[in-house]
Amino acid sequence: MTHIHGTARNQTLSSLGGKPFSVQGGKVINIKVHKLMGDDLAEVSANGQRFLAKLETPLKAGERQWVEVKQTETGISLKLIPSPQVDGEGIASKLLHHLSISGDEKAMTSLVKDLVKDKIPIHKEMLVFAGKHVTGKDAPLHSKIIVEMAKRNMPFTNRVFLSMKAGEKGDFISLLDTLSSRLSEAGGDGGTLQMIRRIQEPLRRNISENLVIKALTGLANSSQTYATRLGHFDVLKSLGFIPGETVMNQWKEGLAGMILDRVTSDGEGEPASFEGLRSGRNQAPGVSGSGQEYTKSAFSLVDKWMNILTGSETRLEGTQEETPEAAARQLIGLAGKERLVEMNFSRLEQIWGKGVPSSNQEKIFQMLYHQTVSDLTEQLRGDELAKVLKRVIGEFGINYEAQVHKGLEIQGNTLKEHLIGLSQQHPATDIRQLADDIVLRMNHQVLHSQDPSPLLTIVQQFPMYLFGRNTDITLQWTGKEKEKGVIDGDYCRVLFYLNMKEMDETLIDMQVQHRVISLTVWNDHPAAEALSQPLIPDLKNGLEKLDYQLSSVKVKKPDKHESLSEKILGDESNRTFSGVDVRI
């Protein structure tokens, strides 16, 4: 949690993240005259910011007036907007008349009143844009969106407006399920469908990797019968993990040779090019150097893990024993065949996953499959769950544009990239619209993560499919911006919202001060507190390993009149956390 990154702080959207107030031509602002300087020049202020401007109409010191800003080569001049001292509605009507804005007069007057009340600078471009959208039965919602865009200094474009509005359009789960069904019916676009299914089945890679670990340790276990070990060997070949030409009595040589070929060809002079290392799996410590030295180090490392796997060597590093399972995981990381194995696993699951096995290999596959699923169902927590969440967020690709701008090579690896292609090129209108709706909803949270205040707020929302319990998960981080786009993990607040079938709405509010954590769990289930108590010791121990201290866990019932989703996803005024002691 030390480095929590925003979704799009590095995007080149020039209008985002700007100052909350700037003096620009065409804006309508309420000024106070402080001092008359002569030659029609005066010192004035708006929104607490002082500046010098030329007054086109004589005003007195201390006077307050609405003016229109004009930007010229010689500086700023202010044109008085005649506005009698009447109520807010009268002022709003005068402003609209002065700027010649057409549209729904009642709705637009209400919008301008809200802008004036919130002391938001008004300009003609904003009101012309609003006049096209603040109409009909959706006028109140659209007016609220326009005000939010103005508060955040967002560009007034249809794309940004639709992205801000997309938060009202269903959830990711239903949108993805619908798009998946339509793509299956229409045929083609297998790449997009495969990406959706990877997100719909986030444990598939965990299952395939853990199944390989079980098969590899079973093959290496000399206490097993030859037939059982042969079944494990055949499964590994069918999964594509062991080369097809390898024979049973030379499996160690075949596996080690395959790994060394990859490591030495991919990593010559560059240890970080190991796929396992690059993916952050803590693989292969100790491989260093270049050329012959590097190759020798790689041979030594693979030999070490192979010996531990087969039980001919047991070593201790610190207090953690290096088990055959740990060795198998290391070798899998070095082999770099996760995607091939996952693809083959899906194929084998379809042909061997059910029914009475017709071969020893099929019998072993079913046994390993059921053991793996059972283990994950019972034990999915901590590091395993963190890996699943990280993978889903990465493959969902909400910050795809920011990564492209940074020059990162991510072609075809994120769902968002596939969806953008679908929305622009697919022949079916409804599929194009569905894909675009999901992209807009992704953009919605990126835009909501933009905040010009000293506190950085990051919103991450993504679908999570786990054991048939499907829900959209929302994470909202708020804290001091340690560096560009990075929240200080020592002082921050995290809100975690999900809606589960058994527990209904749940909001977890985590506040961090000096790396001391206090948790509040909001849930209406009568057994929520009792269910949470047995989990607290593990939570405390897990946080201590990360150098955090748990101070308290409170379970509270939400107000019947307040939706928990609004508590985290409400408008910005409800997300400033007033009254909460966050000392930065």
User: Mean pLDDT, 10 residues at a time, over the chain (584 residues)?
Assistant: 42 37 70 80 78 84 82 76 60 76 82 82 84 88 89 86 79 86 83 83 84 94 92 94 91 90 60 36 44 75 88 58 86 88 87 84 92 78 72 80 64 83 90 90 76 66 73 78 76 82 82 91 88 88 90 84 57 33 25
Q: Which two tokens stand for residue 435?
A: 């894909």
Indicate the burial class of 56 (C-beta count within 10 angstroms; 0-12, 13-18, 19 or more).
Answer: middle
The DSSP code sequence of 490-532 is EEEEEEEEEEETTTEEEEEEEEEETTEEEEEEEE--TTHHHHH
Distance (Å, rounded) from C-alpha 331 to C-alpha 171?
39
Distance (Å, rounded) from C-alpha 479 to C-alpha 471?
26
For residue 316, CA distances in Å to 308, 312, 320 come to 11, 14, 6
Residue 568: how many other CB atoms lie within 10 Å: 21
Is residue 14 within 8 Å of 464, Cβ to Cβ? Answer: no
Residue 14 identity: S
Handedness of CA 205, 206, 207, 211 (dihedral sign): positive
pLDDT given at position 88: 58
Is residue 124 within 8 Å of 26, Cβ to Cβ? Answer: yes
Handedness of CA 204, 364, 217, 298 (dihedral sign): negative
Residue 200 identity: Q
- The crossing angle, in degrees rounded to 10, of helices 139-151 and 158-165 is 110
Q: Which two tokens stand for residue 512?
A: 């961090």
DSSP alpha helix (H) spans, 152-239 = 158-165, 172-186, 190-200, 204-220, 226-238
Is residue 247 left, alpha or beta, with left meaning phi > 0 and alpha meaning psi from -120 to 50?
beta
Is residue 242 within 8 Å of 251, Cβ to Cβ? Answer: yes
What is the DSSP pairing of strand 27-38 with strand 64-72? antiparallel
Query: Residue 47 phi/psi, 5° resolution?
Result: 55, 35
Q: Give the residue carrying structure tokens 């009143």.
A: 113
CA 291, chain centre distance (Å): 40
Is residue 521 within 8 Å of 556, Cβ to Cβ? Answer: yes
For residue 52, the SS3 value is: strand
Whole-angstrom Cα Rg for the chain: 30
Is residue 78 within 8 Å of 68, Cβ to Cβ? Answer: yes
Residue 241 CB partners (closer than 8 Å, separation 6+): 212, 215, 216, 332, 335, 337, 341
What is the DSSP pairing of strand 549-556 with strand 516-523? parallel
For residue 286, the SS3 value is: coil
pLDDT given at position 204: 80
pLDDT given at position 365: 93
Query: Residue 494 phi/psi, 5° resolution?
Result: -125, 130
Indicate the burial class of 292 (C-beta count within 10 angstroms; 0-12, 13-18, 19 or more).
Answer: exposed
pLDDT given at position 584: 22
**pTM of this structure:** 0.58
For residue 556, the SS3 value is: strand
Distance (Å, rounded) from C-alpha 289 to C-alpha 283?
16
Q: Which of 506, 530, 523 is nearest to 557 (CA)?
A: 523
CA 208, chain centre distance (Å): 25
pLDDT given at position 113: 85
Distance (Å, rounded) from C-alpha 470 to C-alpha 200?
9
Is residue 465 within 8 Å of 459, Cβ to Cβ? Answer: no
Distance (Å, rounded) from C-alpha 466 to C-alpha 292?
46
CA 14, chain centre distance (Å): 22
SS (H, E, C) 386-445: HHHHHHHHHHHCCCHHHHHHCCCCCCCCCHHHHHHHHHHHCCCHHHHHHHHHHHHHHHHH
How many helices (H) and strands (E) the chain has is answered by 22, 15
